[in-house]
Structure 1
Amino acid sequence: MSADLIAGIRRDRLAAFAAREAETYIKARPKAAKALKDGAGTFLGGVPMHWMADWPMPHLPLVAKAHGARIADIDGQTLDDFCLGDTGSMFGHSPAPVARAIRAQARRGLTYMLPTEAALTAGRLLTDRFGPFRWQIATTATDANRFALRVARAITGRPRVLVFNGCYHGTLDDTFVSLENGRTVNTPGLLGQVNDLTQTAVACEFNDLAGVEAALAQGDVAAILTEPVMTNSCMVLPEAGFHDGLRQLSLKYGALLIMDETHTISSGLGGYTRVHSLRPDIFVVGKCVAGGMPTAVWGLTEGTAQRYHQADAKREPGRTGMGTTLSANPMQFACLVATLSEVMTPESYAHMEKLAERLSHGLAKIIDRHQAPWHVVRVGARVEFICAPGPLKNGTQAGFAHQPQVEAAIHTGLINRGTLIAPFHNMMLISPATKKTQVDRLISSFDTILSDLFQAA
């Protein structure tokens, strides 16, 4: 590809577009700019959580309110929200049953480190939705993955976890390894990491069963920790037979299989695992499982639970190193019950998938019409446009497909036309509250932007 092009776009045209869109954005949000200048200095780096600095627009908006699939800022700008808290609000902002549950529980107390009747109901509903696991409640999926991995190591007596190059499992230290010339290395850019993570983790490429088998054959892998679909950069789908192969290899070599569904809960009712009849030993899901209340769940199959109890009975007295004080609090259970029984329903998913298919098809048609060397991927209610040819096979290819300059310009351009998508990748989610008109508006804006970017010289 010519050095004058980036993702098929002339660099000068991209730069001019990005400059125009940045100026438009700034003019529309003077109140936020002033408020941030006056008040953000109390935060490290000017943001309350450092990921917020990674949004690509010129400065952050300040949200005034959000409801359903709409979000409004203090400057009076309203957006169709397809980011939805990067999955945290996948079922919409403040679903009515969840809001009612929060109000009711707030009158009864926020946390007391003891269970409620709602906890028992939540356990039954989790099993109904996701399968017959023995459940534990955490606050984030990072914690849930960390605890699940501790259990796998206790059961097997092995030190390593096998993860896939380019994976995402929250901020679990063990997973921050990458492949470099076929070798597992600490992922570049880690802040304050003093441990050699390659002592406890090995990286393989997604869709590479031969590589997985070679790693498992060393005999030191306690668990394979994987997403059903790679989702953190440019989405990578599993090839036919990949998940069956993983299951068979895990059984052959005595490693547990942990399925992290935190992003792929978009796949359908019960997540990718239930939709595609996968058979993990440990199941993890977080983010939207309680309608936006910070909550994650992890569960063991009956056989895995029995092995856990055996390992637990043999350990010396003392702290397990698992669990946090605010996990399994009554507010989480109230929101879990509301979400699982009234929000996460077959009807919701039918609506979400219908509109996601409309969005996916519409974006793909525009890409084809403009002859852009891009492609579109969909997993249930989750849609991504990727600024490179596809399909992608593994994390290495996904890394090369990522085009930050192009994605940042398009992101700001979409905001200026009334649509918000995820900032860290070109991800769009459909919620039960999303309307057909919002999808069509996004498709139309995408067409306008590509018409500008790919306009003939």
Structure 2
Amino acid sequence: NFGMIPVAEGFHAALRKITRRTGTVLIIDETHTISSGPGGYTVLHGLEPDILVAGKAIAGGIPAGIFGVSREIAERLWKIVPMVNPRVRQSAHLGIGGTLAGNALTVATMRAVLEEVLTPANFEIMIENATRLAEAAWGIIRTNELPWHVTQVGARAEIMFMPNPPLSGADIIAGRRGDLETLLHAFYMNEGILVTPFHTMFLMCPATSAADVDRHTDVFARFVDLVRGAGVV
């Protein structure tokens, strides 16, 4: 929960090269980065993980999880656990199961989200609004010459009170302004806006409108005027 840490150029290519050379399984978790668009960050950037996982985002927030594996990993797994014939009761199985695994509510919700929410058409709207918010926030920051920045990953955008994008969680711990974050969140709440409580991140949904984004821009601009006028920044 450190917020968004942009990937350095060439990082993923180097990571994939190293993991292949050492025989290390590369797992990519798309629970948050699925906001990148259809297929998530993996498809957008042409990544080649051995295993891909995603969580509650694909079920509208209801506890859920999925995983997929490459053909090579699947073949390795089947050598450990024999293939199961669904017509024959067997004790051997592959994966993680439990009382609630594959329950009707979760499966129905996942299907609804994948068919009706995380569609190419909706992603186009969500990413457009995230870009609108990010560009407007950047404009306010640059106009006021503030040492802050904005990061965007598809339908997700974040305002961070640091001059440069962090390279690690340690950078955020060392440089984040918790006082400004708390003040901004209180200001937002007084204006009827609720944001992720431990950082200033915005995730668009299909119902988010350009008017909603513009309202945020107005509130953020007034916040900047307030802190500048009070000599906080």
Same fold (TM > 0.5): yes
Q: Is 1:265–2:39 an aligned residue pair? A: no
Pairwise CA RMSD: 1.8
Q: Which residue of the partner structure matches residue 217 of structure 2?
A: 443
Aligned pair in 2 of structure 1 residues 267, 320: CA closer, same or farther (>3 Å)?
closer
Tell me, in whole angstroms, the C-alpha distance in 1 between the residues paired with 2:150 and 2:15.
26
Q: Secondary structure at the match of 1:378?
A: strand
User: What's the CA shift for 1:320?
Assistant: 7.9
Q: Which residue of the partner structure matches residue 85 of structure 2?
A: none
Q: Which residue of the partner structure matches residue 363 of structure 1?
A: 137
Tell me, in whole angstroms, the C-alpha distance in 1 between the residues paired with 2:58 and 2:96.
21
Q: Which residue of the partner structure matches residue 190 of structure 2?
A: 416
Q: Which residue of 45, 51, 60 corresponds with 1:282?
A: 51
Q: Which residue of 324, 339, 342 corresponds with 2:113?
A: 339
Tell me, in whole angstroms, the C-alpha distance in 1 between the residues paired with 2:190 and 2:105.
37
Q: Secondary structure at the match of 1:299?
A: strand
Provide Cα deviations, 1:14-48, integer angstroms capped at 9, x if missing partner: xxxxxxxxxxxxxxxxxxxxxxxxxxxxxxxxxxx
Tell me, in whole angstroms, the C-alpha distance in 1 between the residues paired with 2:102 and 2:93.
18
User: What's the CA shift for 1:456?
Assistant: 6.4
Tell me, in whole angstroms, the C-alpha distance in 2 between the residues paired with 1:318 and 1:437.
54
Q: Which residue of the partner structure matches residue 205 of structure 2?
A: 431
Tell me, in whole angstroms, the C-alpha distance in 1 between the residues paired with 2:207 and 2:102.
28
Q: Which residue of the partner structure matches residue 11 of structure 2?
A: 242
Q: Which residue of 76, 82, 94 corresponds with 1:307?
A: 76
Q: Which runs of 5+ in 1 are unaligned?
A: 1-231
Tell me, in whole angstroms, the C-alpha distance in 1 between the residues paired with 2:111 and 2:93.
30
Count of residues in correspondence between the two structures: 223
Q: Which runs of 4+ in 1 moved over 3 A?
A: 317-322
Q: Which residue of the partner structure matches residue 169 of structure 2?
A: 395
Q: Secondary structure at the match of 2:26?
A: strand
Is the contact made by 2:32 and 2:57 (CA closer than 8 Å) also made in structure 1?
Answer: no
User: What's the CA shift for 1:318?
Assistant: 8.3
The within-5 A match list for 1:175-324 is: 232-313=1-82, 322-324=96-98
Q: Secondary structure at the match of 2:159?
A: strand
Tell me, in whole angstroms, the C-alpha distance in 1 between the residues paired with 2:93 and 2:125.
46
Q: Which residue of 152, 170, 173 corresponds with 1:378?
A: 152
User: What's the CA shift for 1:312?
Assistant: 2.5
Is the contact made by 2:158 and 2:202 (CA closer than 8 Å) also made in structure 1?
Answer: yes
Tell me, in whole angstroms, the C-alpha distance in 1 between the residues paired with 2:212 and 2:69.
39
Q: Secondary structure at the match of 1:298?
A: strand
Q: Which residue of 114, 124, 142 corresponds with 1:350?
A: 124
Tell me, in whole angstroms, the C-alpha distance in 2 between the residues paired with 1:305 and 1:320.
10
Tell me, in whole angstroms, the C-alpha distance in 1 between the residues paired with 2:176 and 2:95.
37
Q: State the identity as a percent.
A: 39
User: What's the CA shift for 1:397?
Assistant: 1.2
User: What's the CA shift for 1:321?
Assistant: 9.0
Aligned pair in 2 of structure 1 residues 287, 321: CA closer, same or farther (>3 Å)?
closer
Is the contact made by 1:234 and 1:401 (CA closer than 8 Å) also made in structure 2?
Answer: no
Tell me, in whole angstroms, the C-alpha distance in 1 between the residues paired with 2:128 and 2:205.
11
User: What's the CA shift for 1:369?
Assistant: 1.9
Tell me, in whole angstroms, the C-alpha distance in 2 between the residues paired with 1:305 and 1:403.
45
Tell me, in whole angstroms, the C-alpha distance in 2 between the residues paired with 1:389 and 1:342.
38
Q: Which runs of 5+ in 2 are unaligned?
A: 83-90
Provide Cα deviations, 1:401-438, integer angstroms capped at 9, x if missing partner: 32222111111111111211101111111111001111
Q: Secondary structure at the match of 2:34?
A: helix
Is the contact made by 1:233 and 1:398 (CA closer than 8 Å) also made in structure 2?
Answer: yes
Aligned pair in 2 of structure 1 residues 404, 291: CA closer, same or farther (>3 Å)?
same
Kindly name which structure, 1 or 2, has the bigger radius of gyration based on alpha carbons. 1
Instruction: Please give the TM-score of this superposition, normalised by the length of structure 1.
Output: 0.47
Is the contact made by 1:414 and 1:445 (CA closer than 8 Å) also made in structure 2?
Answer: yes
Compare relative contact order (CA 8 Å, sep 6+) and give the higher one, 1 or 2: 1
Q: Secondary structure at the match of 1:454?
A: helix
Q: Is 1:328–2:102 an aligned residue pair? A: yes
Tell me, in whole angstroms, the C-alpha distance in 2 between the residues paired with 1:234 and 1:399.
11
